[in-house]
Homo-oligomer: A and B are copies of this chain.
Amino acid sequence: MTGKGVLDTTLGFHIARASVVAYDAFEQHIGTPHGLRKVDFSLLMLVAEHSHLAPKVLAKMLSLTAPKLSMVLDRMQARGLIDRTPDPLDRRSVQVTLTAEGVRLARALEPVARRMEQGLKKRLSAADHARLIQLLSKLASPPG
C-alpha cells in the first residue's frame, strides 16, 4: 500500500499491517518451535517477572477478558507450565505461579525473543525499533 489516501493516515490500518510482520516473526521463532500462542508467551514472560498475581490482574495487564485468561491458564496448567494456588487471604482468588518447567521455558525463551527482535531489525534499525516501541507504548497508555 503506497499512495496518499485516507488509509495512509489511518493509524489502525498501519498497525494491522505491521502486526502481520510481527506475528510471522513470532510464529517462526517461538510459536511453531515451542508450541506457544502469542498470548501463552506473553503470560509466561509476565508471570516469570511478576509471580503470585491474581488472574484478574494478569487479565488487565494483557488486555484479556477474564474468561479468555481462564482458558489460557487451563491450557498452560495442563502443559505443566503454571500452577494455580489458593490465595490464603481471599479464598475466592488464586495466585498464578510458574512451575519449575515454566521457569525453565521462560529462561530458554529469553535469547529466542532477543533473536526474534534482531530479525525485525533487518527491517528497522535498532534506534527505530526502540522509538517504535516507545510510540506504541505511548499510544497504549491511558491519556493524560
Contacts and interface: CB of A to CB of B under 8 A. Distances in A.
Contacts of A15: 15, 18-19, 22, 136
A interface bracket (residues with beta carbon within 8 Å of B): 35 or more
A24 to B, nearest CB: 10
Nearest to A113: B6
Copy count, this protein chain? 2
A141 interface: yes
Contacts of A7: 42, 45-46, 49
Interface in A38-66: 38, 42, 45-46, 48-50, 61, 63
Interface of A: 1, 3, 5-23, 25-26, 38, 42, 45-46, 48-50, 61, 63, 109-110, 113-114, 116-117, 120, 122-124, 128-129, 131-133, 135-141, 143
